[in-house]
A and B are shown apart, each in its own frame.
Chain A
Amino acid sequence: MPTFTLKINKKKYVVEADADTPLLWVLRDHIELVGTKFGCGIGQCGACTVHTDGEASRSCLIQVSQAEDMEITTIEGLSENGDHPVQQAWKEIDVPQCGYCQAGQIMTASAFLNQNPSPSNEEIRSAMNGNICRCASYNSIEEAVKVASEKLS
């Protein structure tokens, strides 16, 4: 099997995997960063969202062979102490119910706020529309993104 060198959370990892292995499974099974979650495998639910070069990306749709030159950030690397403004807001609002989708929600929200630190409610609703929460904690997610944006601005 070929090997690939990945840059994840500012660290270098060398993994041996089939070239078509989704980044999601490399993160979870090879590198044991399991905060990135498997939800649908076809880029529809957003549970596997990571940052690639600062953009929110679906790690289930990126093959490991395409990921070598990317600067990858996962939920584990979003902040040193779990205190990114988005993470803080998530705790303040007590967003999670089952909690499974929330890492993906946080990664989508943090990339979005990085580009648009003072969004309108409609912009928030549109930006977060790609992430499914089966517990339907959407009101809380919306509120937490707003709170995070206030922290950032």
Chain B
Amino acid sequence: MKNSFSRRSFLKTSALASGGMIIGFNLFNACKPDVKPSIDLSKLNYNDFNAFIKISPEGKVTLFSPNPEIGQGVKTSMPMIIAEELEVAWDDVYVVQAPLDTKNYTRQLAGGSQSIRHGWIALRQTGATAKQMLVNAAAAKWGVDASECKVSEGVITNTKGETLGYGDVVTEAAALEVPEEVTLKDPKDFKIIGKGKGNVDIDKITIGKPLFGIDYKEVGMLYASVLRPPAFGQVLESFDASKAKAMPGVVDVITIGEKARTILNEKPNWTVQLSKSNKVVVLGKTTWDAIKGKKAINAVWKEDSKLESTEYHDQVLMDLLNGNKFNTRRKDGNVKQAFAEADKVIERVYESPFLPHNTMEPMNFFADVTPEKVRLVGPVQTPEPAAKVVSEMLGRDLEDISVEMTRMGGGFGRRLYGDFVYEAAEISDKIGKPVKMISTREDDMTTGVYRPSTKYKIAASIKNGKLTGYHLKEAAINGNMYGLIPNFFPAGALENYQVDTANYKSNITTGAWRAPYTNFLASAEQSFFDELAEELGVDRVRLHMDLLDKVKQNPEPKIEYSPERLQGVLKLAVEKSNWGSAPEGIYQGLSVYYCHNTHVAEIANVAMENGIPVVKKVTCAIDCGILVNPLGAMNQAKGGVLDGIGHAMYSDFGFQNGVPKSNNFNTYQLIRMAQTPKVEVHFIESDIDPTGLGEPTLPPVGAAVANAIYKATGKRLTKQPYSLNMNVESSIIG
């Protein structure tokens, strides 16, 4: 395919002093459909780029991967896409995490399962352009037409059979004009894309090399442990540090918070997480010195705002669901009238708790604030906003600030928020020394940015054996469903359809958690449809297929899910799971869902063991377009399913007078191996551009499990975590 779209706006090449060639490209601007490409090349400079490929005279290819790696696999899959079009051997590619340098890079982030979707064309164009320039250089050297040359694994061959490696022509290539048009490969000719490639960091991971933020160390660095308010709604009144200061490993005890508070007051609309309280910081020679010192601090806290409890949140959310303080987010037809005219109206309430992220690597960050510069190193999903806040907080030019991203021991949304970066920066600024702030698990779990507790009330009307109306109400803490979620299924399938949302502002910090809102909305909706199918006396699959047929007849731009693709994954899951003909003793539950641009159907198999429902297997069918890295995709898909089961079944979190009820893994349950079913994943074969997989397999699984448990036990589950609300002893094993 010929492709000239916006290529000039995001690509630039230049020769390196060392003889190689470097190609800069702007991943984000190039592929955002709403950004008009600039056509004035002279206005472009390297400030516009956020990623680079370097080709050395030896022919080695280095790719500076722009997006932070949180376990979603982009450090492997994004370079694969470039290597494919560049026509190099995968083994010759070396991948390096690019740092954030506000002077040279822009818009680097990880979130929303969007890296592959946004990067797809841009990465291919980048590789193809570089390849074309190298071929053009070789053709000029030989005095032949570039179209007569072929390339394979970094070696260019002409019709006489003469060969030149990329390294042989890279110096000349760098001096050439960027070609006006490049040809992208036909997907059927892909050699790297679609072939499973292992994690690029696997050698380092399996021998324990330093990779993560918590592993980062500099000479003279101090370790900082931060004492934050034990309850949401409390602030520091006073503290006694005499015992801590007497400890041989404790270097100093300070307070921070003043600078952060100034920013919070000046910029109340900033969506950053900054506590109003001062915090006590113990600086130690080692992590243990700092942690031990913190335990010796005697602090007094005072109430600053309401100390909220789970019972209170439950009441507030139920009041909202039963009240009339809603924002209507989508309204088709007249739900009220449909309900009034119905033979029957079914209404259910679904409830979910707060959830901490619990990344395995607790929050931590390195900061070195000196009069000359501010160096920040560590795991953060959003380095650019972090640098901006630090610049404001410390009154420093943005140019003085650099952020280096380490590999992250998980994100799940937690590392979108830069609170730990600001703390590290404020500490280093105050003591004038390089410092590493490290949270303990208790700090991490009790001073988090939680998935907000959310409740849904769903009602549907039935007349003459048909579904006539659907009304979804959401009550959530602090925020509500965003973007196009109100236009997700069953929007478009029903004449009378309405989505209303309401929220309660709490002082508990909340934020994005893997697949925000849909992580529970899918459980609610797909459990509800199971009940509807039963009530209507129609097969669950048939009901869905028919509703999706109706969507096909009424296309509209706001409905971004594809009814055809949802039907496709549903059919595939049904076929692969033996839906409807499972062996005796196996109870199956189904769920089908679209989010983050990917279509997924899941079927859970549950068996009763010693009177307890146990999930034995999940069959998962996915349509994410072209599969870039099947190995990485499989990992994301399986991980998402098991993570989804774990949180739907076992994880519970709440508050008592502002204090989190759990603070470590002895009281908070994460799913463990003995609780995991086998996950079988099937991908739809597709030539449609790829979409992401970091999130989409998680939301549907809760309902697949709940629907299967219903068949096994006759009990409908509406409140998560299900294991605590099943009226059976427990499904927890081990």
Give A contacts to B, CB under 8 Å.
1, 17-18, 20-22, 25, 28-30, 32-42, 44-45, 47, 74-76, 78, 82, 87, 90-91, 94, 96-103, 106, 125-126, 128-142
Which residue of the partner chain, among B438, B441, B643, B672, contacts A135 with CB atoms under 8 Å? B643
- Tell me the smallest distance from the CB of A96 to a CB of chain B, in Å: 5
Q: Counting CB contacts under 8 A, is B692 at the interface?
A: no
A140 CB to nearest B CB, Å:
7
Cβ contacts B195-216/A at 8 Å (1 or 0 each): 0101101110111111110110
Given known contacts A41-B441, A137-B639, what 5 new A-B pairs fall within 8 Å (CB)? A18-B248, A25-B288, A34-B208, A42-B664, A126-B674
Measured in the bound complex, the distance between the Cα atoms of B74 and A143 in whole Å is 23
Residue in B closest to A99 when the chains form the complex, CB atoms: B205
A99 to B438, CA, bound (A): 19
Beta-carbon contact of A126 and B734 below 8 Å: yes
- Complex Cα spacing A18 to B643, Å: 39
B632-669: CB near A (< 8 Å → 1, else 0) gives 10011011111100100000000000000000111000
Cβ of B678 < 8 Å from any Cβ of A?
Answer: yes
B360→A97 contact, CB < 8 A: no
Q: Which of B405-413, B454-462, B547-555, B606-614 lies at the binding interface? A: B405-413
Say yes or no: A134 contacts B359, CB within 8 Å: yes
Say yes or no: A35-B209 contact (C-beta < 8 A), given A45-B360, A98-B71: yes
- Specify which chain A residues have a CB less than 8 angstroms from the CB of B643 in the assembled complex: 134-136
Which residue from chain A places its CB closest to the CB of B636 in the assembled complex? A97
Closest Cβ neighbor of A90 among chain B residues: B206
Decide if B404 is an interface residue (CB 8 Å cutoff). no
When distances are taken between beta carbons in the complex, the residues of chain A under 8 Å from B678 are 139
- Which of chain B's residues have a CB closer than 8 A to the CB of A75? 206-208
Smallest Cβ distance from B439 to chain A, in angstroms? 10
- In the A-B complex, the 10 residue pairs with the closest CB atoms: A35-B208, A98-B71, A100-B409, A136-B642, A75-B208, A44-B665, A99-B205, A97-B71, A25-B288, A29-B286
Contact B670 A134 (CB under 8 A): yes
**CB <8 Å contact, A125 and B673:** yes
The complex places the Cα of A28 from the Cα of B442 at a distance, in Å, of 20
A101 to B361, CA, bound (A): 8
Q: Which residue of A lies closest to B643 (CB)?
A: A136
**Closest-CB distance, A24 to chain B (whole angstroms):** 9
B676 interface hit (Cβ, 8 Å): yes
With a cutoff of 8 Å between Cβ atoms, the chain B residues found around residue A126 in the complex are 674, 734
Q: Would A100 and B410 count as touching, CB distance under 8 A?
A: yes
The residue on A at minimum CB distance from B670 is A132
Does B360 lie within 8 Å of A132, measured CB to CB? Answer: yes
What residues of chain A lie closer than 8 Å to B210, measured between beta carbons?
34
- The answer to whether B626 has its CB under 8 Å from any CB of chain A is no
Is A132 a contact partner of B665 (Cβ separation < 8 A)? yes
Q: For residue A108, give the distance in angstroms from its CB to the closest CB of chain B.
A: 10
Closest chain A residue to B666, Cβ basis? A44
Contacts of A45 in B (CB 8 A): 360, 441, 665
Instruction: Output the least CB separation between A6 and chain B (Å).
Output: 15
A99 to B410, CA, bound (A): 8
State whether the Cβ of B178 lies closer than 8 Å to any Cβ in chain A: no
- Residues on A with C-beta less than 8 A from B70 are 98
Residue pair A99, B409 in contact (C-beta under 8 Å) = yes
Q: Within the complex, which residue of B249, B635, B734 is in contact with A137, where a contact is CB–CB below 8 Å?
A: B635
Given contacts A29-B288, A91-B198, contact A139 B676 (CB under 8 A): yes
Which chain B residue lies CB-closest to A139? B638
* A41-B440 in contact (CB<8A): yes
Given A100-B409, A128-B673, are A76 and B198 neighbors across the interface (CB < 8 Å)? Answer: no
Inter-chain CA distance A136–B632, complex, in Å, is: 14
A134 x B360 contact (CB < 8 A): yes
A134 touches B410 (CB 8 A): yes
